[in-house]
Amino acid sequence: MNYEDLKLEFFYLRKACFKYRSFSKYIYSKYVVCRGFTKLNKIFEKPINNSDLSMHIFACRRDFKMLMWSLESFYKAIGEVGELYIHNNSNLREKDKKILKKFFPSCHIVETGNFQMEYKDILKKHWLIQKFRAEKRWARFFAKLIDPYFVSPKKYRLIIDSDLLWFRKAVDIDKEINNGCQNSIMMRNNGVCPVYFKNNTRLDDKLASYNSGIVLYKKENLNLDKLGEYLQKLDENMPDNYHFIEQAGYAYCLTNLRGLSKGAYVIGDKAGENTVVRHYTSPRRPLFFIEGVGKLHKMSRVN
């Protein structure tokens, strides 16, 4: 754990203690339950039953514990199973990759650091996309927007975040995949995450209300020309754009876009009886272990 990771973990420990009053539960779930989890000798993936679908998740060493729980719960919730692509944000260790291969033996581990070289000929046709993907300050977020489009040869792409926990069957997602992904799907924020353009305007509030914790689309529904238009308009000097560039980009360039139910696919609310997924975004990250892992651990013992 480097200095920045230690600083962040200290922040989460303080939050678990003083905001959520669950310091011991956080420690137990993250450092006892999770440690036992990685030592399990079983396979979590399910057989592929949809050859037109690819499933994508981005991974880093800091969030490795979350990644494991997220994927394990995802496979229990999803019915339509495609090929799994785990995009390594350059710092997974070899032992991390071995653990991933133990639980998900058929997964593809994609090195995001090699993307520019491997797809340079294709990217030459889209110079603005290539520019943003190459710039260090944007690359971390922009990779999630563009890499699955080029890496996967499949018709349909399902992109999920590693800070999601899945508690019930994802019927809405399975239904859309079965329907040929006529609609593009994203989660919905509780409010607006504004993205600003160069001409003193900003992204339409409806589009700025989408969240990229879950994104499902078929390839022809992601319009690269629209993506180029979006990047041309984007104000690169506006700091507020940094964290929302990829989810706003998805919302701007996906056709036939609709949002998942905020009652079942939640961000801010507590996971309840009807919750399919909860997205534990960065401000609520300690709850991933306090609430989510505890809930899943209890469910697994019951089952």
Q: Name residue 98's amino acid.
A: K
- Looking at the domain assignment, is residue 278 inside a domain? no
**CA gyration radius for the chain?**
19
CA dist., res. 37 & res. 54, Å (int):
26
* CB-CB contact of 170 with 264 (8 Å): no
Nearest alpha carbon to residue 268 among 255, 277, 257: 277
Label residue 300 by pLDDT band (50, 70, 90). Answer: low
- Looking at the domain assignment, is residue 271 inside a domain? no
List the Cα angle 161/156/121 in 5-degree steps: 90
23-37, 125-139, 148-162, 276-290, range with greatest mean pLDDT: 148-162
User: Exposed, middle or buried by CB within 10 Å (0-12, 13-18, 19+), for 274?
Assistant: exposed
- Looking at the domain assignment, is residue 207 inside a domain? yes
Our count of domains for the chain comes to 1
**Count of Cβ atoms closer than 10 Å to residue 136 Cβ:** 6
Nearest alpha carbon to residue 189 among 228, 243, 116, 111: 243
Q: Name residue 136's amino acid.
A: K
**The pLDDT of residue 1:** 66
- Looking at the domain assignment, is residue 269 inside a domain? no
Which token pair is 111? Answer: 């090195």
* CB-CB contact of 76 with 46 (8 Å): no
Report the pLDDT averaged over residues 147-158: 97
Instruction: Print the domain residue range for 108.
Output: 47-262
Which token pair is 255? Answer: 């056709």
List the Cα angle 127/133/135 in 5-degree steps: 100
- pTM reported for the whole predicted model: 0.94
What sign results for the dihedral spanned by CA atoms 70, 75, 81, 87?
positive
- Looking at the domain assignment, is residue 252 inside a domain? yes
- Looking at the domain assignment, is residue 237 inside a domain? yes
- Looking at the domain assignment, is residue 2 inside a domain? no
- Looking at the domain assignment, is residue 23 inside a domain? no
pLDDT in tens, 83-109: 999 999 878 999 999 999 999 999 999
List the Cα angle 144/56/170 in 5-degree steps: 115
pLDDT in tens, 207-266: 999 999 999 999 999 999 999 999 999 998 888 888 888 999 999 999 999 999 999 999
CATH number at residue 89: 3.90.550
**The pLDDT of residue 301:** 45
